[in-house]
Structure 1
Amino acid sequence: MCGIVGFNSKNSLVLNSMLQSIKHRGPDDSGVYEEDSFSLGHVRLSILDLSSNAHQPMEFDNLVMVYNGEVYNFKEIKEELEECGYSFVSNSDSEVVLKAYHKWGIKAIDQFRGMFAVAIFDKVKKTVTLIRDRVGVKPLYYFFDGKDFVFASELKPIMKYKNDLTISKDALYEFFQFGYISSNLSIFENCYKLPAGHYATFNIQDLTLDLQQYWSIVPFFQKPKFKKSEDELVDELEKLLIESFRYRMVADVPVGVFLSGGIDSSLVAAILQKHFGNIHTFTIGFKEAKYNEATYAKEVAKHLGTIHTENFLSSNQAKEILNRFVDIYDEPFGDSSGIPTTLVSSIAKDAGVKVVLSADGGDEIFCGYERYWYSYNIGKKIFMMPKILRKSLLYFMDIIGVDNASKIVKIKNFEHKYNQLAEMLKDDSWKNIYEKLIHNSKNYEIKELLGIVKDIKEDGFDIGAKEHPMQGMMLWDYRRYMTDDILTKVDRATMSVSIEGREPLLDHKIAEFMAQVPFELKYKDGTSKYLLRKVLERYIPEKLIDRPKMGFGIPMFEWFGGDLKELFEKNFTDEMFDKHHLFNKQYIQKEYQKLNINKALNINKLWFILVFQLWYKKYMDN
């Protein structure tokens, strides 16, 4: 894996500073290309062709390229290019990407199967084309204010180039709503993530930027559903999975697998172990039993016969990683599972592994999250109520008020549930119901904290919901939560220790296939990931599969209420909040007092505020 940067001017000092800020993404090599109108930089983590022949920036004819990622089917594309008269000096996929673009232009992307963030400078046309992979596995940010154009794999280099960036209120709202920033926003104004499945062309002379989409999962949902038997679909899915996993084993360095013991990671480990053997698996555990998955992972590893490594995360280790959290995630990022993901990445690195496969994407593609059927059941009950009854309930709730109601009804976290119910009774769409149930903070809470309310625009939900409301939820997550939370987490965690993370379940061929599978074979008779389970049963006994889903969560309250509580005390002061004047301090102090009297229900709200405070201190408090 690598890191890339570029901007529309020449400044060697700034260019080198930008590259130094992402050296962790590519400690093996670095390179620059500079001319008066444009500069490119690259840091390299050598995975394929470890020689200097794969050095970047890479030039061919009128093109100069910097590239981060892997095109796994590069050998097939290379053969086709050789038949067209192209010759090659390296065994890297980078050279294939460059010459494929030279041959076919932007249409070359249609042949790429993998994860990539690419920048290609045309010295003749004076244009720069940025390309991001279909799902958004690899990050790519750009800044454009009508004059300066800057791009990079992370925000750090852009902050090195621009020292007068301002915070985006829209992005801040999304962060406190979800714990991550989506909508292709970044925490800064005029700075964006290139959307997954898109390319952008910047004209250096005209100072114009054109954004185009080249792939979307939506058309595949609009195709007719497969008219095949269950066994036929299981056979086809297994074949696709084996093919996808085989591609992701292409490397000239050792490869391992993150294993949680859940369905997705067990399937990845099982297929790779059967078809390749000697697979290294890595997991982490917790002394707190309700968070600990290590036992399950160990049982799966023993059954498969993998070379297994486990480690237990303590509060002291978590605190050490937390001290580096805003260095790893250089915009506000609230997913606390980034802490164990960073640790398990370190374990893999220490074991000599340079490429690691994780099983992200399974929940969004195959219907795995409990919140899907939970939200569906709640939504059904609300929509079954006549509108006149819902309006009447709202009327009486407004008259009674939450304070008076809480004196009558003694329910844990009553105020939150009361206000949430009031919001949902007003809703007339599945999208609104789902968003309100997955919000970390509800609209009324964010309004109290920030003084603003924002509506999230997302048409993917309506497209998926035409088949089933839960399919709409899956598509919502596929286009937002998966890309901007899960994939961001894995990319930054693995890159922080200079190893490459690969996502075999996110091969676009698998997503396209599953879009045409009838929903009743994704969630059947109360069983989630039904089709995927049928594949896994061919490799692992059912007793090792059928268990509660946990994920890489951490015991937030146990740690923050004890060893890490001092971080709140240091960062939740009037002096710290007055540095930016973005928050209602009274709201924060009210929520903090709940923690002090041992109410853990609001821990994520406080965690998000803490993350922002730490981020602001690191990057903005000059």
Structure 2
Amino acid sequence: MNGICGWWGARPQAAEGIFPTTSDASINDCDISAAVIGNNTGGLVHADVEIVVAISERTSFGDAATVAAAYRRDGDAMLCAMQGAFALALLDRRRSRFLLAVDRAGARSLYVNERYGGVFFASRLEMLSRAPGFNRMHDDQAIFDYLYFHVIPSPRVIYRDVSKLLPAQMRIWENGQTLHRFYWHMPYRDSEVADYAALRQEFRALLPRVVGDAAGHSKTGADRVACFLSGGTDSSTVAGTWRELRGAPVSTYSIGFDAAGFDEMDYARTAARHFGTNPRELYVKPADVVDSIPRIAAYCDEPFGNASIVPAYLCARFAKDDGIDTMLAGDGGDEIFGGNERYANQSLFELYGRIPAPARRLLESALQMPGLDAIPMVRKARSYIAQAKVPLPDRFETYNFLHRTALDQIFEPAFLARVDSEEPLRNLREVYARTKSNSAINRMMHLDLKITLSDNDLRKVNQACELAGVNVCYPLLDDRMLDFAASVPARMQLKGTQLRWFFKRSLADFLPPQIIAKRKQGFGLPVGLWMADYAPLRELSHESLIALKHRQIVRPSYIDWVEQKHAKEHASYYGVMLWILIMLEQWLQAHQATAQR
């Protein structure tokens, strides 16, 4: 995938030679240097006496020259009309005004570092860090956030003095000020009045358009466009639609695991047979994980703890070896069509708030009467009420590892004193409150668009595919699909506790019934089980944890406790935290981050 990099306003001698500026997709001037890195970069940089534009790829506007013309005509408002994945840098020389922006879904990243009196920017943090004098001191708060979320959510970055843009965000430097704005918001409609038949017709007409346009990003032909196929509703929908459009079998790539409860290959095979695709299957083994860990840790811009990046990388590499250059992924469907299981769970807790306050007080008093502790239903009711009284989005994190154990038992005292343990929840609350909707369902989906999708899943798939050497496109995150999904009433997204009611009903005659009925899983990795059973992975894990104990971040006693729990009680559950710790240490070793002291 393409990216951009460069600087604006810095002293040229401080920035000279940092970024490539010799291709036809670059500009190197006294006030700005910018380049597009990747393939098919022609036309992605434009410069005239008034406007300079560098954009990572063509959008609905076309090339960089048409983006410049749109800005000259409409100013910042042109971003509202520009569709597609992109990272953008734009200099308005008339006003000495510099703008950076990324697309609505955050499918492209943009890191920013202000120094030397100017702004350095890059789609890859590794490229940004090449600048002379770059501060590689890591940010303790970012590490805390990583251990909380298993990723580092935007805008924070592992290195101090660097930030990254949020989805649909633009950052502007003008008249000595820096402004942060969102140029677009998910246009949810709170009205419950809607015609299902009309919405279904619109949705079914839109699907082939967004899949076909995504496949059109391949510059070498449709034969080299394939699909990830986990056997879930989203990947099956994308693969089936691409097969229909092609009128011939298309290649689909699926991952399996020899571990009970993790292997979804049967569902992938069901979808492949149903649509008549050319199925390509790869079974991941523990040895593949051992081989992949250092590669992935070294490639990722920041510590990344979503273990499914390993099968995503292996699947993309498998496709690359077959000559595929573009993969279509189904990411985003859960976050725009109500598919995450916690939406149903949280909706049940939200019901409690609808009970009149006097009735709630009476019920809570009755449940506290003496002698009721031994009654299971009373204990369940108390637990339900206790959770229901925690407001969203805080309730999402009730079972977070960092809420299950006292922080002073997890972290070294000096490290804990340097961080704000409330910042992760403030991050969640800001995104939840920013939703342009009063519906709890829409607010939860809006939060997941940022935290689950942009900060996690898209970063996972992007980096996995980049490392493997293939491009990836997300048809369900097409701007037209985002606008459409926002028009579906919340009561159709989630019917009672039935997830994805509208999506599944609309595709009931298209998807196999087994896939309509299945629960969400994806390319989940049985890493907890394999760390217990496979000696080389267990050794790599233990060595990483020993090294992490010396970094004065996590208490050695907590690491020992998690290892013991993993070995003796629940390998899959405690394996999650072990993996998070291991990948932190692997990343720190690969990138030689310097701790703040």
Distance verdict in 2 for CA 1:285–1:5, change over 3 Å: same
Q: What CA distance in whole angstroms lies between the structure 2 residues aligned with 1:180 and 1:381?
A: 32
Task: Give the match for residue 153 of structure 2.
Answer: 182
Instruction: Determine helix, strand or coil for the equivalent of 1:324.
Output: helix
Match of 2:577 in 1: 605
Aligned to 2:32: 38
Q: How does 1:282-321 map to 2 (within 5 A)?
A: 282-321=253-292
SS at match of 1:33: strand
In the alignment, the residues of structure 2 paired with residue 260 and residue 275 of structure 1 have an alpha-carbon distance, to the nearest angstrom, of 20
- Per-residue deviation at 1:619? 1.7
Deviation at 1:487, TM superposition (A): 1.1
Matched with 1:523 is 494
- Equivalent in the alignment of 1:110: 80
RMSD: 3.5
Gaps of 5+ in 1: 21-27, 47-51, 79-92, 397-404, 410-416
Instruction: State whether structure 2 residue 490 is matched by structure 1 residue 502.
Output: no
2:11–2:117: 8 Å Cα contact kept in structure 1?
no
Distance 2:68 2:192 in 1: 37
Task: Please say if 1:214 is aligned against 2:183.
Answer: yes
Per the TM alignment, residue 315 of structure 1 is displaced from its structure 2 partner at its CA by 1.2
| Match of residue 569 from structure 1 | 542
Greater mean alpha carbon deviation, residues 305-314 or residues 102-111: 102-111
Q: Percent identity?
A: 23
| In 1, Cα distance between equivalents of 2:593 and 2:142 | 19
Measure the CA separation in 2 of the matches of 1:4 and 1:523: 39
**Shift in Å at residue 526 of structure 1?**
3.8
The 5 Å alignment of 1:41-52 reads: 41-46=35-40
Superposition pairs of residues 90-239 of structure 1, within 5 angstroms: 93-144=63-114, 147-161=117-131, 162-203=133-174, 208-217=177-186, 220-221=187-188, 223-225=189-191, 227-239=193-205
Are the counterparts in 2 of residues 280 and 306 from structure 1 also a CA contact under 8 Å? Answer: yes
Give the letter aligned to residue 619 of structure 1: H
Matches within 5 A, 1:481-500: 481-500=452-471
Alignment of 1:430-469 (within 5 A): 430-437=392-399, 439-442=400-403, 444-450=405-411, 451=416, 452-455=420-423, 456-457=425-426, 458-462=429-433, 468-469=439-440
CA distance in structure 2 between the partners assigned to 1:430 and 1:394 by the alignment:
25
Letter in 1 for 2:101: I
* Alignment partner of 1:67 out of 55, 71, 79: 55
In 1: Cα distance, 2:5 partner to 2:440 partner:
41
Distance 2:335 2:161 in 1: 30
CA displacement at 1:519 relative to structure 2: 1.8
Three-state SS of the structure 1 residue aligned to 2:56 is strand
Which amino acid letter does the alignment assign opposite residue 39 of structure 2? L
2:202, 2:548 → 1: CA distance?
56
Deviations 1:200-220 (A, max 9, x none): 1234xx654222221011xx2
CA deviation vs aligned residue, 1:269-326 (integer Å, no higher than 9, x gap): 1222222333322111112242112221122112212232121111111221111122
User: Scaled by the length of structure 2, what TM-score is found?
Assistant: 0.85
1:291 match: secondary structure: coil
Aligned partners of 1:113 and 1:355: how far apart in 2?
20
CA offset at residue 425 of structure 1? 5.3
Aligned to 2:232: 262
Q: Do the aligned partners of 2:225 and 2:324 also contact (CA within 8 Å) in 1?
A: yes
- What's the counterpart of residue 344 of structure 1? 315
Residue by residue, what CA displacement relative to the aligned partner does 1:506-537 show, whole Å, maximum 9, x if unpaired?
A: 12332232223222211225432111112322
Q: Which runs of 5+ in 2 are unaligned?
A: none
Q: Does 1:591 align with 2:562?
A: yes
The count of corresponding residues between Structure 1 and Structure 2 is 566
1:581 counterpart = 2:547: no
Q: Which moved more, 1:260-269 or 1:495-504?
A: 495-504
Letter of the 2:581 counterpart? I
Mapped contact 1:30–1:43 kept (Cα < 8 A)? no
Structure 1 CA distance for aligned equivalents of residues 277 and 154 of structure 2:
40
- Seen in structure 2, the aligned counterparts of structure 1 residues 68 and 535 have a Cα distance that, compared at 3 Å, is same
**2:421 aligned partner, one-letter code:** V
The equivalent residue for 1:249 is 215
Alpha-carbon distance in structure 2 between the residues aligned to 1:230 and 1:379? 25
TM-score, structure 1 as length reference? 0.82
CA distance in 2, matches of 1:465, 1:108: 21
Q: Could you say if the C-alpha distance between residues 282 and 589 of structure 1 is closer, same or farther in structure 2, counting changes exceeding 3 Å?
A: same
